[in-house]
Amino acid sequence: MKYLTADFGSTYTKLTAIDSDTATVLGTSLAFTTIETNVIEGFRLAMSRLEAKIGPFRYDKLLCCSSAAGGLKMVALGLVPELTAKAARMAASSAGAKVIKTYSFEISKSEEEEIYQINPDLVLLCGGTDGGNKEVIISNAKRLCGINRDFSIIAAGNKSATDELEAIFSKSNKNWVITKNVMPEFNKINIEPAKESIKDLFISRIIEAKGLSAIQQMSGYQIIPTPLAVFNGCELLSKGTKNEAGIGDLMAVDLGGATTDVYSMASGAPNVDNVMVKGLPEPYSKRTVEGDLGMRYSLPSLFDEVGIDALAQESGLAEDDIKAWVEACIANPDIIAEEGSTQQRIEELFARNAVRIAVERHCGEYQSVFTTNGQLFTLVGKDLSTVPYVVGIGGAIINNAHPLAILEGAKNRGVSVVLPTKPNSPKYLLDKKYIFASMGLLSAIDPDMALKIMKKEITQI
């Protein structure tokens, strides 16, 4: 059996040829994604480059994912920031969406205008436990329907508001669906129904909008968001299959031109005594996406986040050289630094800082609390200090001459923290052929084969 997987990214279309008889990756290739004209053009060019490497290739099955034109752009609404708003973000991120912003309570006129300017593909509307507050979700539904943009709405909130929501949505021109509450009970999350609804919406609506309908017909299988394919690949490598064990807890960092995505496959339970866990329970499988941390399209915000003084001090490079490279990347996002050049050192500097900040945001946070019984700690989020593996994904990592130096941004340095939650002493793995998304796709058909290939191809640095 021969498989071909295709990942239609914002910049590149990436193909992977797989032979299931030998459990090997026969070859990979890429070409610029031709979203402005027709994605099939970039696909055919990538195919011709693949066959130039491995010879004529006739596949039996074509499996596809896509983040073309920025992927699935979403905003999420909840009742309170620490509860339903956070649950909404969890559901959206785990489905492979790019969550631009999360709102809490009743949205204001200025927030309505902000959503209009964001112009999302989808709004995930949550709020209230089942039988609890339903006024906020009803009010927000009315406000969303008044925004003159062609976004779809998934409502995953208080089931007691279902009748009112149906009446509101039915009078609008919005595409909508109502599914189960992301937080049916206090501090209990149920994100899978919303996650499935997001995936279904991607398939039914976004595929057509991004020009992928012809590819869908060629494949015969559902095209899913690329981050969801990577998410599935991470779960497979961590948990394994019913026939073969995975490698256990891990963190994966996917550094791209627009975002830095972090995946953790671990319980995140506290690793110290005298700790009280606060906030929503953390899922074993978690994804966060940082839309302001990227190596090209969001490089200006990464530059601002780190600061020129810190960059120059860390690297020993001249501020003018760093600024000049940032300006060059903004003017020409396709620019590539020459091997061994100062610009390549700057690329590595930005990449390491993007990994550092994204992992800090993904991990939890301890705070010290003094009580009559002595010092205690509270933990919000995941404690990933004992995670044994950090995996590097994405062109900015795998194509760099020093991927280890970049990935060490994920490691705890013990600076200005009460207790560390970043990995303390991980081993570093590298997805050299960028097959995580490919294996995530293959896992839906042949998980044992996909896991076997991942263990073979994803190697320690």
The three-state DSSP-derived secondary structure of the chain is: CEEEEEEECCCEEEEEEEECCCCEEEEEEEEECCCCCCHHHHHHHHHHHHHHHHCCCCCCEEEEEECHHHCCEEEEEECCHHHHHHHHHHHHHHCCCEEEEEEECCCCHHHHHHHHHHCCCEEEECCCCCCCCCHHHHHHHHHHHCCCCCCEEEECCCHHHHHHHHHHHHCCCCCEEECCCCCCECCECCCHHHHHHHHHHHHHHHHHHCCCHHHHHHHCCCCEEHHHHHHHHHHHHHHECCCCECCCCEEEEEECCCCEEEEEECCCCCCCCCEEEECCCCCCEEEEEECCCCCCCCHHHHHHHHCHHHHHHHHCCCHHHHHHHHHHHHHCCCCCCCCCCHHHHHHHHHHHHHHHHHHHHHCCEEEEEEECCEEEEEEECCCCCCCCEEEEECHHHHCCCCHHHHHHHHCCCCCCCCCCCCCCCCEEEECCCCCHHHHHHHCCCCHHHHHHHHHHHCEEC
Query: Which amino acid would we find at residue 134?
Result: K
pLDDT at 416 over 60: no
CATH number for the domain formed by residue range(s) 1-70+210-222 = 3.30.420.40
At residue 244, the pLDDT reads 94
Closest C-alpha among 234, 191, 223 to residue 63: 223
Say what the pLDDT of residue 212 is.
Answer: 80
| CA 57 – CA 109 distance, rounded (Å) | 56
pLDDT of residue 69: 59
Tell me which of 167 and 280 has the higher pLDDT.
167
Domain borders along the chain are 1-70+210-222, 72-203, 250-294+353-430
What count of other Cβ atoms lies within 10 Å of the Cβ of residue 168?
20
Per-residue model confidence (pLDDT) at position 369: 81
pLDDT of residue 35: 67
Percentage of the chain surpassing pLDDT 70? Answer: 97
249 Cβ contact partners less than 8 Å away, ≥ 6 residues apart = 238, 265, 266, 267, 386, 387, 388, 389
Answer whether residue 96 shows pLDDT above 70: yes
> Hey, which residues does 327 pair with through a beta bridge?
none
Q: What is the pLDDT of residues 128-145, one digit of tens each?
A: 899 999 999 999 999 999
Lowest-confidence pick of 68-82, 149-163, 196-210, 345-359: 196-210
pLDDT score at 415: 62
The residue-averaged pLDDT of 365-376 equals 80
The reported pLDDT for the residue numbered 367 is: 86
The mean per-residue pLDDT over the stretch 428-447 comes to 95
Tell which CATH classification among 1.10.10.10, 3.30.420.40, 3.40.50.360, 3.40.710.10 matches the domain 72-203: 3.40.50.360
